[in-house]
């Protein structure tokens, strides 16, 4: 099995309510999202075309880009963790949507991981295992 990875970036603002620290204030990040898809190499010589992977994920990234994350509740793609938009909860949100879209598009492929950098040195990650 091979894992192919596509990387995305987006900018967004948020604050963490009931958090005792500087993140309780409104602030922004340039997030970096990495999505890994695992599968066998097919007759095209690929696991998944990077263009198709980008098309699958880009709409979710676009929904967050230049947004105020605490105000996304009830908007498109539903169930966004607007009340507490931590990197961990955002990763869960991406996993739910990307794995669902992937299962619909191709049952032979699996979501291997989602990694979301909140800063250049800090990230939250979900792995299939």
What does the pLDDT look like over 31-70, one tens digit per residue?
Answer: 999 999 999 999 999 999 999 999 999 999 999 999 999 9
Average pLDDT over the chain, rounded to an integer: 93
CATH (residue range 2-127): 3.30.479.10
Order of strands, sheet of 2-14, starting from the edge strand that comes earlier in the sequence: 67-68, 2-14, 27-39, 110-119, 122-127
Quote the pLDDT of residue 90.
Answer: 96
The gap between the terminal CA atoms of the chain, to the nearest Å, is 14
Asked whether residue 117 carries a pLDDT value surpassing 70, the answer given is yes
Query: Structure pTM?
Result: 0.92
pLDDT range class, residue 107, cuts 50, 70, 90: confident
Active site residues: 23, 66, 118
């Amino acid at each position: 099995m091979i894992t192919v990875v596509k990387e995305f970036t987006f900018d967004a603002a948020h604050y963490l309510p009931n958090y005792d620290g500087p993140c309780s204030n409104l602030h922004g990040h340039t997030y970096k999202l990495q999505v890994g898809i695992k599968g066998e190499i097919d007759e095209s010589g690929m696991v998944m075309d990077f263009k198709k992977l980008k098309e699958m994920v880009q709409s979710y990234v676009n929904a967050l880009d230049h947004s105020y994350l605490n105000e996304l509740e009830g908007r498109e793609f539903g169930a966004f963790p607007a009340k507490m938009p931590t990197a961990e909860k955002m990763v869960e949100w991406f996993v739910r949507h990307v794995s669902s879209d992937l299962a619909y598009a191709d049952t032979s492929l699996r979501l291997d991981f989602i990694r979301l950098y909140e800063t250049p040195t800090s990230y939250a990650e979900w792995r299939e295992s």
